[in-house]
Structure 1
Amino acid sequence: MAKSEATAANRKSDIISAAIEVFAEVGYYRATTAQVAERANISQPYVFRFFATKENLLLTALEVSWSRVIDSFQRVVETASSERLEEELIQEYENIQLMHQNEIFLQMQAQTIREDSIQETMRNGFKEVRQIVLTAFQRAGIEKPEERTMLFLARGMLCNVAVALNMPELLKG
């Protein structure tokens, strides 16, 4: 990769990271590409060099956030024993929440945005995560894998709410 290509790739990554932060902090509708540019320490026109619209930027940010969860879960599935699979998936999601909280907040907000492309991105992310967990539970011989998958995903959503509202008591069982 040439130096200019590497620099452009790094700048694009910087823009996506800045967008995740800005969207998570102020919300997609209130956020502006000028705020994203300022956070990334670049000019606003440079944002549009990579992303034609704010919606395209959001879609890319969501894809990055889903990829993190999907890749992390796939690594766990490949290495965890059947006995520890669910426990390690839970621990991995807790790590993601801790290390990448803005991405989780971004996903939570995106669930309420009605644009078709955003809804489709969210559906695809949830479908892929669900399929990874369901297949792993089935292969591990976990009883009632569909129900356990639903409960696993529901627990993840509750964890998101608990973190967003700073209510750890929601997670005490």
Structure 2
Amino acid sequence: MAKTEAASVNRREEIIAAAIDVFSEIGFYRATTAQVAERAKISQPYIFRFFSTKEALLLAALEVSWERIIGSFEQVVGSASPSRLEADLIEAYESILARHSSEMLLQMQAQTIQADDIREAMRTGFGAVRQMVLDAFRNAGIPNPEERTMLFLARGMLCNISMALNMPELMEGKA
């Protein structure tokens, strides 16, 4: 990769990281690309070299957040013993929440956005995670894999709410 190409990729990633932070703090609709540019320490027009619209930037940010979850879960599925699979997946998600809470807050907001492409990105992300967990539970011989997958996803949503509202008591008594 050429030096300018690498710099361009890095700049794109910096813009996405800034957008994740700004959108999660202010909200997608209230946030402006000027605020994202300020956070990324670039000019606002420079954002549009990489993203045609603010919505395209949101889609890229959501893609990053889903890739993080899926990549983390793939590592667990590839290495966990069947007896530790669910616990290791929970630990992996809790680690993501602790280190990348802005991404999860962004996903929570995106669930309420009615734009078709945002809804599709969220359906695709949730669907991929659901299918990965379901397949892993089936392959591990976990009884009632469909129900356990649903409960696993519900627990993840409760983790998100607990983090967003700063209510750790919602997670008391966790397994």
Is TM-score (shorter-chain normalized) higher than 0.5?
Answer: yes
Q: Which residue of 1 aligns with 2:166?
A: 166
Please give the alpha-carbon distance, in whole angstroms, between the structure 1 residues aligned to 2:99 and 2:116: 29
Please give the alpha-carbon distance, in whole angstroms, between the structure 1 residues aligned to 2:75 and 2:91: 13
| Structure 1 residues not aligned, in runs of 5+ | none
Shift of 1:105: 0.2
Please give the alpha-carbon distance, in whole angstroms, between the structure 2 residues aligned to 1:171 and 1:14: 33
Deviations 1:62-94 (CA, angstroms, capped at 9, x unpaired): 000000000100110000000000000000000
Matches within 5 A, 1:79-90: 79-90=79-90
Please give the alpha-carbon distance, in whole angstroms, between the structure 1 residues aligned to 2:157 and 2:5: 38
Q: Which residue of 2 aligns with 1:124?
A: 124
Aligned residues: 173
Q: Which residue of 1 aligns with 2:54?
A: 54
TM-score normalised by length of structure 1: 0.99
Q: Which residue of 2 aligns with 1:106?
A: 106
Matches within 5 A, 1:6-21: 6-21=6-21
| Residue type of the alignment partner of 1:44 | Q
Structure 1 outlier segments of 4+, above 3 Å = none
Q: Which residue of 2 aligns with 1:153?
A: 153
Please give the alpha-carbon distance, in whole angstroms, between the structure 1 residues aligned to 2:104 and 2:156: 10
Deviations 1:80-114 (CA, angstroms, capped at 9, x unpaired): 00000000000000000000000000000000000
Please give the alpha-carbon distance, in whole angstroms, between the structure 2 residues aligned to 1:48 and 1:126: 28
Shift of 1:172: 1.1
| Structure 2 residues not aligned, in runs of 5+ | none
Please give the alpha-carbon distance, in whole angstroms, between the structure 2 residues aligned to 1:13 and 1:159: 27
Please give the alpha-carbon distance, in whole angstroms, between the structure 2 residues aligned to 1:6 and 1:149: 39
Q: Secondary structure at the match of 2:166?
A: coil
> Over aligned residue pairs, what C-alpha RMSD do you find?
0.4
Please give the alpha-carbon distance, in whole angstroms, between the structure 1 residues aligned to 2:3 and 2:163: 40
